[in-house]
Amino acid sequence: MASSLLALLDDIATVLDDVAVLSKVAAKKSAGVLGDDLALNAQQVAGVRADRELPVVWAVARGSLVNKLILVPAALAIGAFAPVLVAPLLMIGGAFLCYEGVEKLAHKLLPGAHDDSAHRAALAAALADPGADLVALERDKIKGAVRTDFILSAEIIAITLGTVSGQPLGTQAAVLAAIALVMTVGVYGLVAGIVKLDDAGLWLSRRPGAAAQAAGRAVLRAAPWLMKALSVAGTAAMFLVGGGILVHGVPALHHAIAAAVAPWPALAAAVASTLAEALVGVAVGAVVLALVLAVSRLRGRAAAA
């Protein structure tokens, strides 16, 4: 009996170790989505009154948990009953990541780029208007953030499902649940910290000590740059993660890149293969963006006709 108990404990330890390892792998693969998730959610909450920022973040976090309560069982069902769909879903998720990255670059770099200054001005006017329905404004922001979270969460779950495919159902469920919970808590904990960073800087800048005031001014100067850095890192990681998914999903392309860099030193080969995957991501994202724009134009012409 004692030996049976020890064997059971050993099996449990092995499963937990597998879950921990697979969770780390899945977290690394979904890093691009996480960076974008942080930046997007922090931007979604921006513009809310300072005393309502944390309640709005909490409301969005609850919506994110509901999203994952839908997505995790759906992913487990696909893994159990239609595992053949895992690879195509993963490729679609990778292509969507690359499309999002190229779309962001297009907004920043191309002529006629998207300008949200009018939207920001309207938001500022609404906040300054005493008669504005701030409850409705908050509700709209929360709904928009939860919709965005659903898309990003679906990408994270798809990447995680691809990582754990082939594992026992219990391990898949444990890894998916761990990733869903840890990333929700981590992302929205960081979002809460980011949106209150300027308040912390302002509080420090008003403290009597010179060191505290200097630290507060430094925090206030750094806060906007942190948002920009998150956005840039998230966009770059989209190409790295999305391109990596796409390259590994096409064995011939993966082997071709591996063969091309094989004669190089290990570090140079790793950097070159990563850059090659990112370039594949940019190319695929550009193709998807062109297709989306073409379909949008066709629909516009059909509606005008």
- pTM score of the predicted model: 0.66
Contacts of residue 167, Cβ cutoff 8 Å, sequence gap at least 6: 18, 22, 175
Please give the structure tokens belonging to residue 113: 């780029």
Name the strand (E) or helix (H) holding 182: helix 169-195
Tell me which DSSP letter residue 52 carries: G
Q: What is the mean pLDDT of residues 258-263?
A: 90
Of 137-141, 162-166, 281-285, the one with minimum mean pLDDT is 137-141
Q: What is the mean pLDDT of residues 112-130?
A: 50
Flag whether pLDDT at 16 surpasses 50.
no
Phi then psi dihedrals of residue 129, to 5 deg: -80, 120
Report the alpha-carbon distance of residue 146 to residue 187 in Å, rounded.
13
Flag whether pLDDT at 103 surpasses 80.
yes
